Amino acid sequence: MQNESSGVLNSFQLGEPAAFEALFRMHQHAVYGWLLRIVRNHAAAEDLTVETFWRIHQAHARFNPAQGFEGWARRIATRAALDWLRANRTECELPADLPAAATTDPAIRAEIRQKIALAFSRLPPKLRIAATLAVVEQLPGKEVAEALGISIAAQKLRVFRAIRLLRKDLERQGITP
């Protein structure tokens, strides 16, 4: 996300529609990319981008221009994604059409991958987001913690709990990691 002039940020904070549109156009791709990393579904990421900017629009009076737009938007987007994951827990799938790095090990059988994906989709949404960003996307702990609005220690704890639950679920499915 690029830096924007303080004039646009101040105007947005005062509720100026043109400033909101400028920020939307400037940040929609970055917000969409962030949401796609979390929900891993194109259609949902598009809907959530609109939802995120709606929440941003509603909260403009609380925005602090001195703290910048990017981190604030990312926190709101993460919260929107968390709400979506909570509402769609049984429907979460892992579509194969997402652009991804070609690092898949052929030694891991498709059946095992399916079981891992299933176990991962069953994680509590808060833990799942932390694990997605920190383990799958391999983002720095500080960045993940800021997006989740928690400390780095709390973020590490969430990842640890996610991994522990994942191991238990895999063991129940007959997979010993």
The site for other proteins (CB under 8 A) is made up of 15, 21, 24-25, 28-29, 32-33, 36-37, 40, 42, 45-46, 49-51, 53-54, 57-62, 94, 98-105, 108, 112-113, 116-117, 120, 131-132, 135-138, 150, 154, 160, 163-164, 166-167, 170, 177
**Nearer Cβ to other proteins (66/102):** 102
Integer Cα distance of 14 and 12 in angstroms: 5
How far apart are CB 140 and other proteins at their closest, in Å?
13
Tokens 């769609």 belong to which residue? 88
Token pair recorded at residue 99: 């652009």
Integer Cα distance of 106 and 176 in angstroms: 18
Residue 22 near residue 8, CB atoms below 8 Å: yes
Report the length, in residues, of the chain.
177
How far apart are CB 108 and other proteins at their closest, in Å?
5
Residue 83 near residue 35, CB atoms below 8 Å: no
How far apart are CB 37 and other proteins at their closest, in Å?
5
Token pair recorded at residue 66: 């001195």
**Nearer Cβ to other proteins (152/163):** 163
Integer Cα distance of 52 and 44 in angstroms: 12
**Nearer Cβ to other proteins (113/142):** 113
How far apart are CB 53 and other proteins at their closest, in Å?
6
How far apart are CB 68 and other proteins at their closest, in Å?
20
